[in-house]
Structure 1
């Protein structure tokens, strides 16, 4: 990394720091996701140990225990409730985050959005192509092409927090932005390619509570005033109705979570009280639901989804040699960094933009390796790709776990060495702040 002052660019870096307010907000999200990532890893570890212990039958009996209401297609196993129900909370937050980024965040500016969007597309396309190439001779496994396309932000952020406390904040922002776009692509893939049959009646009926939910969310201060309990008492049942009807339509119910997140307003208008009216509904929901998602929904889903009977060393060796496993591991560990870094390099050359001067390409390679941790959404897509209890489904879980650990280790080795370098730099340099408390580096980026 060079420390000479670069010549003033004609415009701010595309992969720059963004606004200071955005950096503070993303920093808060990363801290919460770090805790969620630790719980996620712990839940998955418990599931794997239990599923391969002498008490394995009790684990699978618990996971497959069914309850619910059949006429609404809601008689599901505990594992299915976690995948379809609890994970909808996670995707609700994804919807909130996507809308905020593209409406009020730095991604509302095309110059800031183009590189992470293209990088995410590359990080989805290349792993899918690698999986398809590896499984080209086994048509029965080609349906899992989307499994290695996802990035688990909670898991990745937890690893980054452990090994990268001194890395430039622009790298962390890039990782979160990349994961947000990645989630949008994953939801689109699930909705388009993993919906076998759509029942139009429940889907049309879902528009009624969704429209009412969106209307009341937009006008929540007018109808509910400062009594947030009243908004919860009405909006939560409406959201549950949308979820149930989308589930009954045949579309994966997590899509309902994203739609509900999109319906929540981000920017407060003058009519609703403007900036002095207190936090908007999007901020309130994010504050209330993120701990539920990170602390309960995602870890419980991981607990019920990660448990797979490996069958000892012989079973593990057999799983590793399967085309499904090879395609997923190669897609996540190799395809993700190749796709992300390659697409980023291509778009910066085409648009003549540059990286933020606070980090180098080797740092971006480390972040791209970290994006190969495809845990939560990859597990969800694997359950949609292969029949429950099939050998392919088990191989896919083994592959996801193996690839995620391998990607974390590789990224950890690289980013830890880079972290030591930046720690030494921090000892020699300090970031000055003006009287307004905003570091000069953000004001320079904003004024450039």
Structure 2
């Protein structure tokens, strides 16, 4: 059993991790990046144990994946039981109940009480690609609209949909065509006083002038942007987009891959303003650490694709489906959305207190357990990625895993497991405060 405490017995990284890092460099291409070069041997709850025996607080959750905590018994037990039965048949060849049960759960949990259908894949980018395929088939249109600062994946189409060039797109083109970008509601950087409705009017003017409603198959948006900097649009922005899409027969796709399953204090971030997307994409927290993704949408949209048009050899793997049913059980039973709100009630005031004393913290934002600080040059909105990197590195050295993000790399994001206990959360926040103040 891993005690839920931070404990350092060597420097970070320790000698055994350093040895493995040398082997990694000889075996793995440099294009596969590493945030923190410690090699994990065990993990439980919100603590990672590396090969040198250091115990680190995980404030990244494997990028919002292990929301139910590392090594959650319900996930492990269900996956182990399925491993004992069979590992694969391919759902498209000989189906199994677990896939159907996960689809039923997604149909029940995603926003809206309309009739839905769900199909399963292996990764978030794959889910986004298939959502676009479905929208194009349903509408008979080609164009896809995304937003500034968006991140949707690393496949060819999703790279085209992603805003940030380096490291995600640089040198990898040409990219898929008919992808257009509109301005996002970004309250910290928008003109003072701009409302969500006004930001939506600005975005829709770009869409109508550069694309045209009659050519637009779908509008794809993260309700709170993830890799783009945890950008939480102003109230009214998302509802205005939904209204425009309904008026013009455009499919509204909510990319809830990072925000879904309680992370923001609601089961889905779209729920915050009562937004009901036509299609929702999910992954990350869905299966408690195993690779699984979903596309859930209105029945008439999902059924527009003819048999054989959707699928994949590993999509909806039976072991991943079993794990997902365990993760969903925990999320609902323990009301982890409420726990996310409690985490936010600790993190946000603490970070705002730090902001008041440190002018390089330009903005504190987020909802629930999806919280970030944006670093800028004092008195400006000029991004300061060096300071963000310094703070994150100091946290790593002290045994707290943090992640940076943002179009300019100047945002430090916090994504703890939703099961993290209060003492561990307070310790992590204290380490972050020390890192900020150590400049």
- What TM-score does the superposition give when structure 2 sets the normalisation length? 0.24
Higher strand share: 2
- Name the TM-score, length of structure 1 as normaliser: 0.23
Q: Comparing both chains, which one has the higher relative contact order based on Cα–Cα distances under 8 Å and sequence gaps of 6 or more?
A: 1
Structure that is richer in helix per residue? 1
